[in-house]
Structure 1
Amino acid sequence: MLPTNQKKSKLSKTISFFELCYHSIVRNVRKGHSNAVQGLIMDVLQNLLLVVFFALFISILGMRSVAVRGNFILYVMTGVFLYLSHVKVMGAVRTAASPTDTMLKHAPVTMLLNVISASFSALYIQILSMAVLLFATHVWLEPVTFYSLKGVVLCFFLAWLFGIAMGVLFSSIGIFFPKPMTIITTAYTRMNMIFSGKMMLANSIRPALLPWFTWNPLFHIIDQARGNAFINYVPRNTNLTYVWVVLLIALVLGFMIDHWARKYASQSWNARR
């Protein structure tokens, strides 16, 4: 049995940590704008405009014929919002997880706290944007229904978790190679514009071209999400087991490299570069 005062001490530390997480998440959400409400509206509008842009892009190119029969806006959203959930949190975590971040000079702030606040603030924006667009589509266009809502939610959070894992991995490697990793991260984000499969179905891709897409776990996540969103689409070329394996490997490698590098990282590293 632990002493009562020790139990209280652990409880108070846990409460203090979650309180610090809350304030850090709020700071991340509103740091880009002086007005919190205005900042949220701007972030939501940016995501909504991206959905509208891709919907128009698919229609203009005549790719709407290869979409799943059903709600077209839902088809676009299952691609765009999972893509955004991944790349937004990856970028936020990559920036926040750096051991040379000036915020880490403050005693209560840790790398774990930075990762939690960055990931949950990005998640909050994506959920809010998705809820607004789903509500608008349901009310003004046509009723929105999901074949398996649990499956879609699982894929959404899986894209978010995979973004955290890649953000931690890129950040840890970036300690040693900051400039190359910045280029690699940008290239990875741009490649996902195409190879995430958000504008096409895995079942409609020719077998010869499939290897260009199946290497990407996000491609598997988006395709499985559409299989759960639409009753008349059954994914044949993707699975979530591959995603979990890559996610866990990236997360473990990222934290291992970061833990080792944190012993030697200093502000002088960037100064020398």
Structure 2
Amino acid sequence: MIPAAFDYVAPTTVDDAVRALAEAGEDAKVIAGGQSLLPVLRMRLAAPSMLVDLGKVAELRGVREDGDTLVVGAMTTHYDVQRDPLVREHARLLALATNVVADPQVRHRGTFGGSLAHADPAGDLLAPALALDAELVVAGMDGRRTIPAAEFFADFFTTSMRSGEILCEVRVPKKTGWSAHYEKFNRVAQAWSIVAVAAAVLVDDGTITEARVGLTNMAATPVRATAVESALVGQPATAEAITAAAQHAAEGTSPAADGNADAEFRQHLARVLTSRAVSAAVGA
């Protein structure tokens, strides 16, 4: 199908993009890589009056350090995130999760910020951002504000961004020296996650001293498996200890039932995949 007619603008600064959104009103849409929006437009599930294209806003691209924080521009492509040496060193979990996002074509066009702003609970980057205590910086007519990942994802395909705001960058506390793994379960290659687990673990002399575990597609938003994290800390980095801690993975979750899996199966998967993810991270 052909999308409905719309106006188009490609600003070169964040301020100009915010201004264009404000002038266009609530019917405007932001387009980043377009991997989620364009199919919706072609099926006419959305008919915006204006598209504000962020592709020419250079300040929204790239990865940099800011003290103890890694800053990823919202328009940085998946391809660049998964290959960036700073990401691999200080936020390895992001690189590993990005490796399994869709296919190479999508990773070359899709953007890190676009995936987070789309807020699909089956998306592979939401749980890693949550597990790493990321903060998301958004800009609007009233200036910029910072939203913790735990408050950013509000519901299915819904964030706490206000109308007219643009996601500018994602700030991730460095996890230098941490082990990480992203374990994804899907029926066919390159598909959305039925369930996935993002794990980042710090091991000192054979003992787990810190742990972060995020769950994909186990609720309307990504979920932190805090019971697993608590159970892991202070335990030896062994398969037995990890398996025992992983039994808490489904606590507090509310997975959907659909054609891929029912809620009970998803809770089973959460426990199994959590054990696999943490074990792979620490080499157990």
Q: TM-score range by the shorter chain?
A: under 0.3
Whose relative contact order is higher, 1 or 2, with alpha carbons under 8 Å and at least 6 apart? 1
Question: Which one has a bigger Cα radius of gyration?
Answer: 1
- If the length of structure 1 is used for normalisation, what is the TM-score? 0.27
Q: If the length of structure 2 is used for normalisation, what is the TM-score?
A: 0.27
